[in-house]
Structure 1
């Protein structure tokens, strides 16, 4: 399991997050997702700690804390949901009439 960290500055680095979260235990991994098209940071991250106790301590201390000019949103990350296909309806009918002429 990992920690979701939201409302991050777009200037944050993996080293910044590692340093801050290491105050609460061992940081195993930091992920900073980027936008596929622009390559810019998306304003959130995922941090994995060595134990659940360390995760809980980091969440308790950092959720709502002001850091790099922003109020952090820190909580347990939720499992990624399967979004499935984005289309509705059948393959052959793209929103038009299904009548044949």
Structure 2
């Protein structure tokens, strides 16, 4: 059964391909994607890598969490490790994509989102961080 890994604190320069390359030594990758702002196309600072087995995903987490990729210390977690909360987090990131409209609407939204992902550490945290960033922006 496949396993999806969340990768946070990515450099703006990290692409789907460099993400795949960094994780490929730990197993067969079914998919790798860096989430991008719908309006600007700029990286949102996090992405996902899907491995063919959970053992491969665990190896990647154990070896790459807190390691450097493209000059940034990345965070690597199992994307669906939170059970039903993970599902909510997934919805949150989907909502974040539509919220990308609101984030992209204000130039500060991009920086707010940036703060959110680095402070959040998880999909749910990303969303809350995004709102927090928005609040600071409104100050």
Query: What TM-score range do you get, normalising by the shorter chain?
Result: 0.7 to 0.9
Equivalent of 1:81, from 91, 103, 109? 91
1:26 maps to 2:28: yes
Q: d(CA) in 1 for partners of 2:26 and 2:45?
A: 22
Unaligned segments of structure 2, at least 5 residues: 80-85, 96-139
Q: Which structure has the bigger radius of gyration?
A: 1
What TM-score do you get using the length of structure 1 for normalisation?
0.75
Contact 2:5 2:57 in 1 (8 A): yes
Higher relative contact order (CA 8 A, sep 6+): 1
Shift of 1:81: 3.4
Q: d(CA) in 1 for partners of 2:17 and 2:57?
A: 18
Tell me how many residue pairs correspond in the alignment.
83
CA RMSD of aligned residues (A): 1.4
